[in-house]
Amino acid sequence: MSKNFVYGFHAIETLLKTRAQDVEKLLVCERRNRRTGDIVQQAESLGIPVERASRADLDRRSANANHQGLLAWVSPQAVHNEAFLKDLVLAEGSRIFLLVLDEIQDPHNLGACLRSADGAGVSAVLSPRRKCAGLTPAVRKVASGAAETVPLVQVGNLARMLRWLAEQDVRIIGLCGDGEASLYDTVLTGPLALVLGGEGKGLRRLTRDHCTTLAALPMRGAIESLNVSVAAGICLYEALRQRMV
Domains and CATH numbers, the chain: 4-74 (3.30.1330.30), 82-244 (3.40.1280.10)
Query: Which 8-state DSSP code applies to residue 123?
Result: S
CA 153 – CA 80 distance, rounded (Å):
4
CA 44 – CA 38 distance, rounded (Å):
10
Q: CA 100, 131, 142, 65: dihedral to nearest 10 degrees?
A: 170
Contact 180, 214 (CB under 8 A): yes
- Regions of the chain with pLDDT less than 50: 1-2
pLDDT at 175: 96
pLDDT at 76: 66
Give the type of residue at 12.
Answer: I
pLDDT at 237: 98
- E strand residue ranges, the chain: 4-7, 23-29, 50-53, 70-74, 97-102, 124-128, 152-155, 171-175, 181-182, 192-197, 213-216
Contact 111, 149 (CB under 8 A): no
pLDDT at 2: 40
pLDDT at 144: 78
Residue 186, SS3 per DSSP? coil
Helix (H) or strand (E) holding 11: helix 9-18
CB contact set of 238 (below 8 Å; sequence gap of 6+): 183, 184, 188
Query: What would the pLDDT profile of 137-184 be if each residue is shown by its tens digit?
Result: 788 878 877 888 899 999 999 999 999 999 999 999 999 988 989 999
How far is Cα of residue 152 from the mean position of the Cα atoms in its chain?
Answer: 7
DSSP for 74-110, written as a single string: EPPPPPB-HHHHHHHHHHHGGG-EEEEEES---HHHH
pLDDT at 77: 65
